[in-house]
Structure 1
Amino acid sequence: MAQLSDDCFAFGGPMMSVDEAVAIIASRVGAVEEIVTVPLQEADGRILSGDIVASLALPPFTNSAVDGYAVRSDDLPSRKEAAFPVSGRIQAGASADEAIKPGHAMRIFTGAPMPEGAGTVFMQEDVRLDASGKVVLPPGLRHGANVRPLGEDIAAGTVALERGLRLRPQDVALLAAFGLTRVEVRRRIRVAVFSTGNELVSPGDVRKPAQLFDSNRFMLMAMLRRLGCEVSDLGILRDERMALAQGLKKVAGTCDLILTSGGVSTGEEDHVKAAVEEVGKLVLWRMAIKPGRPVAMGIIGGTPLIGLPGNPVASFVTFVHVVRPTVLALSGARPEPLMPMPVRAAFTYRKKIGRREYVRVNLRKAKEGAGFEAVKFPREGAGLLSSLVDTDGLVELGEAVTQVGPGQTIGFLGYADLM
């Protein structure tokens, strides 16, 4: 398990920006050290533990990029078409056993190795056969056209994939192209998740009139699994300081991260802060973010803890900006900065300076011109689950922004890009 110092999240300022929070996490959280080997079929989403060096060039031999006719570059027609006898045929997967003869062409297919001496391929759509069976080639083609040289894609011995990469399907394809069947990755990090609050019951249990079914826990566990975590569901802890403290102490050391939802504000019945201080050390961050703001960061027995707000939208947004970078750092993954896509606003909005805000929106084709525009969800409130379900993503409004008007360029983050 990753062991962190008790003061690794310490921060002296009264209000922390989103960028400051991410910088602290990236610089002070260490990665898990255990390495495991997984089959290529299970590599998607895993974190590479070391660089992948190309064991062979790609492509491993010079080959044709099209179906057509290969010729020597010295024989290329320059001013008018010319007819060439066809002296051979090379299929993909076959060897080019004979060198091409001067003044001759060879029938060749996509992926087939180029015969010795040949340097250019004419596409079959651009040629014709004359009555004698010769192939008539047009003028103007340059040396090397329609040919894939050895190592054109990747040279042997070069670093093809760097350590810390979260593997994607295209990365898995590259590993397969090198002939690999297994790959070394960091082990999945283990995250223990629970909610707090007497007002909550788990789906399937009996709900009293003044209680709510716990939704945050299931949302957070789903988001964690999309980041490749092994998740333990610890259920709901009641609003009792000692019960919370004992529950936290029990799980610390068995996981790499503890994630809670609710109870991190400053109300009389918000006991997470006191419970963490009972068995560890806590820093309560007040982040300059809306929705969100109160986030608990702490250490219990060397295990980091993050306490998110109880309102679902605030929990979602702070997960993206606090939990996501923490999980990536613990996993040994390279940072994955969020890159908002520029769109045009189709709404009016005012906000306070010095605070980053995230507005729930839908995208639609702009009525005039190309591109997309963002339409604000008609209702606000950090407790509206429908505002996450019925929208496409978030618009990010930076600290310096005070108002937005129709037609203004703003940054959009789609939900799929946040995990």
Structure 2
Amino acid sequence: MAQLSDDCFAFGGPMMSVDDAVSLIAASVNAITDFETVPLSDSDGRVLAGNVTAPLPLPPFTNSAVDGYAARSRDIAKTAEQILPVAGRIQAGAAACGPLEPGHVARIFTGAPLPPGADTVFMQEDVRIDPSGKVVLPPGLKPGANVRPAGEDIRQGEIGLRAGQRLHPQHVALAAAFGLTHLKVVRRIRVAVFSTGNELALPGEARTGAQLFDSNRFMLMAMLRRIGCGIIDLGILRDDPISLAGGLKTVAGECDLVLTSGGVSTGEEDHVKTAVESIGTLVMWRMAIKPGRPVAMGIIGGTPLIGLPGNPVASFVTFVHVVRPTVLALSGALPEPLIPMPVRAAFTYKKKSGRREYVRASLRRADDGAIEAIKFPREGAGLLSSLVDTDGLVELGETMTRVEPGQRVRFLPYASLL
């Protein structure tokens, strides 16, 4: 379990940029060093604990990329058709029956090994068969055409997967191509998640007229699972600083990260702040971001705590820029910078200079074929419908102050954020 110093999240500036926040997290958080070995079928989404080198070349033998006829390039005419007899038939999964004799071709299928001597394959649709059963080859085919040489993809001993790689289906496929059945990965980051407040009711239970159903906790737990975390669900903790402090102190020793939303500002009824400060340290980050300016960062017995804003959209946006990099740093994962895609704005918008803003937007294809971003028609960081009825976030940089229709903007699809 990573043990952090009480002052590791301290920041002396008046307003923290998004980039400064990510950099401070990366510099402050120590990666855990607990590993486990899992079956390949269970490795998707996990973080690789060490480099994986290729135990064999890929492909392991030279083979045909197409269905057709294997030939020796020295037998191929450059300017005229050539008629050659067929000597042998090689299917995928079968060994070549022997060297290809000069002046002959072999019938071959995709993935089948080339016979010794052959180095070029004619696609079957580019040749024709004459009445005697011989193959008529067109002239001028480049030597080596339609052939996959052994080791073309990855050479034996080369690093195929690097330590810190968060595994996706394509990485699992490469490990399988190496013949591996298990991978050594970082154990899942354990995150304790709770909501706080007498104003919250659990979905499915009775709700008073002055209560809201707890929604942020379920959103945060779903987002954590998307990035491979294990969840300790503490439910709703009521507004009692003493019991809050006792519960947090206990769970901090059992997890790698404590996460909540709301209840950490300076109001008289924000009891999480008081509880955390009684058993650890807490600093407030005023981030230059909209929505989501107030974020709490704390340490309880060496375990980091993050308190996100209570409004769901602000909680969603700050999760991406604070919680996500914290989890990646804790798991020792390689950096995964968010890379926006350029689209055309179909809206007008004004913003303040000096802060980064995220505008909820949907995409459409315009009459000229360009992809346009359409802003959600209503404002407000409490509108869950603005996350449900849009496709992602338009990222407006710190120096921008206005967006006009037709202007190029940066778009982050929701699918790219986790």
Q: What TM-score, normalized to structure 1?
A: 0.98
Runs of 4+ in 1 over 6 A off after TM superposition: none
- Aligned partners of 1:309 and 1:252: how far apart in 2? 21
Contact 2:88–2:97 (Cα < 8 Å) also in 1: no
Deviation at 1:196, TM superposition (A): 1.3
In the alignment, which residue of structure 1 is the partner of 2:60? 60
The correspondence of residues 224-303 of structure 1 with structure 2, limited to 5 A, is: 224-303=224-303
One-letter identity of the residue aligned with 2:25: I
**2:154 aligns to what?**
154
Name the structure 2 match of 1:88.
88
SS of the residue aligned with 1:194?
A: strand
Deviates more, 1:121-130 or 1:259-268: 259-268
Q: Does 1:79 align with 2:79?
A: yes
Structure 2: which amino acid aligns with 1:375? I
1:380 alignment partner AA: E
Q: Distance in 2 between matches of 1:261 and 1:202?
A: 15
> Cα deviations across residues 216-274 of structure 1 (Å, max 9, x unaligned)?
00000000011111101101122332232222112111000000111122322222222
> In 2, Cα distance between the equivalents of 1:30 and 1:102?
64
Q: Structure 2 CA distance, aligned partners of 1:405 and 1:239?
A: 46
Residue 381 (structure 2) aligns with:
382
CA distance in 1, matches of 2:266, 2:2: 30
Alpha-carbon shift at residue 204 of structure 1 (Å): 1.8
Q: Percent identity over the alignment? A: 74
Q: Deviation string for 1:327-355 (max 9, x for gaps)? A: 11111211111111111111111011101
Q: Does 1:392 align with 2:391?
A: yes
Assess if the C-alpha contact under 8 Å between 1:36 and 1:186 holds in 2: yes
Structure 2 CA distance, aligned partners of 1:371 and 1:156? 44
Paired with 1:35 and 1:94, the residues of 2 have a C-alpha distance of 40
Paired amino acid for 1:407 = G
Task: Give the residue type in structure 1 aligned to 2:86.
Answer: V
State the secondary structure of the residue aligned to 2:195.
strand
1:410 is paired with a residue of what secondary structure?
Answer: strand
Equivalent residue number for residue 348 of structure 1 = 348
Amino acid at match of 1:386: S
Number of corresponding residues: 418
How many Å separate the matches in 2 of 1:268 and 1:346?
43
CA distance in 1, matches of 2:71, 2:298: 70
Report the Cα distance in structure 1 between the residues aligned to 2:242 and 2:293, rounded to whole angstroms: 26
**What CA deviation, in whole Å up to 9, does each residue of 1:185-210 have, x standing for no partner?**
00001000001122111112221101
Deviates more, 1:197-206 or 1:254-263: 197-206
**CA contact under 8 A between 1:84 and 1:105: conserved in structure 2?**
yes
| Distance of 2:256 and 2:415 partners within structure 1 | 25
Counterpart residue number, 1:410: 409
Structure 1: runs of 5+ lacking an equivalent:
none
SS in 1 for 2:119: strand
Q: Which moved more, 1:119-128 or 1:233-242?
A: 233-242
Deviation at 1:32, TM superposition (A): 1.4
Q: Could you tell me how far apart the structure 2 residues matched to 1:147 and 1:34 are?
A: 44
TM-score of the pair, normalised by structure 2: 0.99
1:40 Cα offset (Å): 0.6
Contact 1:273 1:284 in 2 (8 A): no
- Give me the whole-angstrom Cα distance separating, in 2, the residues matched to 1:263 and 1:187: 30
Which one-letter code corresponds to 1:79 in the other structure? T
| Structure 2 partner of 1:357 | 357
Q: How does 1:1-40 map to 2 (within 5 A)?
A: 1-40=1-40
Tell me the alpha carbon deviations over residues 102-125 of structure 1, each in whole angstroms, 9 at most, x when there is no partner: 111111111111111111111110
Q: Distance in 2 between matches of 1:305 and 1:39?
A: 32
Secondary structure at the aligned position of 2:390 is classed as coil
1:193 aligns with 2:179: no
The residue matched to 1:171 in structure 2 has which SS? helix
CA contact (8 A) 2:166 2:333 kept: yes
Q: Distance in 2 between matches of 1:360 and 1:247?
A: 36
- Take 1:274 and 1:144, find their aligned partners in 2: how far apart are those partners? 72
Q: Which residue of 1 aligns with 2:175?
A: 175
SS at 1:118's partner residue?
coil
C-alpha contact 1:360 1:391 (8 A) present in aligned 2:
yes
Counterpart amino acid of residue 231 in structure 1: I
1:91-142 Cα distance to aligned partner (Å, 9 max, x none): 1111113111111111111111111111111111011111111111010101
User: C-alpha offsets along residues 68-100 of structure 1, whole Å, 9 cap, x if unaligned?
Assistant: 111111101111101001111111111113111
**C-alpha distance in 2 between matches for 1:107 and 1:99:** 13
SS at match of 2:319: helix
State the partner residue of 1:322. Answer: 322
Partner of 1:205: 205
Alignment RMSD: 0.9
